[in-house]
Amino acid sequence: MMPNSVDNKNANQETAYLAGGCFWCLEAVFNRTEGISAVTSGYAGGKTKNPNYEQVSSGKTGHAETVKIEFDPEKISFEEILQIFFSLHDPTTPNRQGNDIGPQYRSAVFYADEKQKNSAKKIRRQIDGKKIYPHLIVTEILPLKEFYPAEEYHQKYFEKNPQAGYCQLIINPKIAKFRKKFSRYRAYAFDEKLRD
């Protein structure tokens, strides 16, 4: 797998790289978000070149399970994406999301430029200030160096495995929460998007 740099497909397209626990959860929600054209599960923030899932899962490569989000900033801003992101996981637990434990499950924003860096710091500060969580946010805000797409079986995992236990117990509630809290961003169901 070749690493992807910060690559915009056209002038109207921007890219965000977010890690918040298992990438299947973030991918499933952002695939249902208006203004987002593509979501790719992968790995960022580590030192090993071209890592595979088994290597990342060991916690020794330094990578976090990360999603690459391609979006139209005229329809949804980077800051709005961050607000959704911070609501989908617990950003106060270092190297852990629920039963998923290890540095590969840490919370991180990998920024593409200074504007994204400043936006991430601003949103993190705002959420801390509102005391939404009982503890301070530990989400890392780091420059994106390389992003490696995950293996094909991880892509659109929820759509391929909707009856799997993890999808039913973990991902479905996140999608329901998103639909309730951020209904203005859900203009279509994922299956409708695929038919376009």
Q: Given this model, what pLDDT does residue 190 score?
A: 43
Round the CA-based radius of gyration of the chain to a whole number and report it: 16
The token duo for 128 is 């801390």
Residues of the chain with pLDDT under 50: 1-9, 187-196
124-144: pLDDT as tens digits: 999 999 998 999 999 999 999
What pLDDT does 10 receive?
55
Instruction: Write phi, then psi, for 68 (nearest 5 degrees).
Output: -95, 120
- pLDDT of 1 reads 37
**23-30 helix and 78-88 helix, angle to the nearest 10 degrees:** 130
Residue positions annotated with a catalytic role: 22
Measured in whole angstroms, the distance separating CA 30 from the mean position of its chain's CA atoms is: 8
Average predicted confidence (pLDDT) for the chain: 89
Domains and CATH numbers, the chain: 14-188 (3.30.1060.10)
Question: Cα(39)–Cα(16) distance, rounded to whole angstroms?
Answer: 10
Decide: pTM greater than 0.85: yes
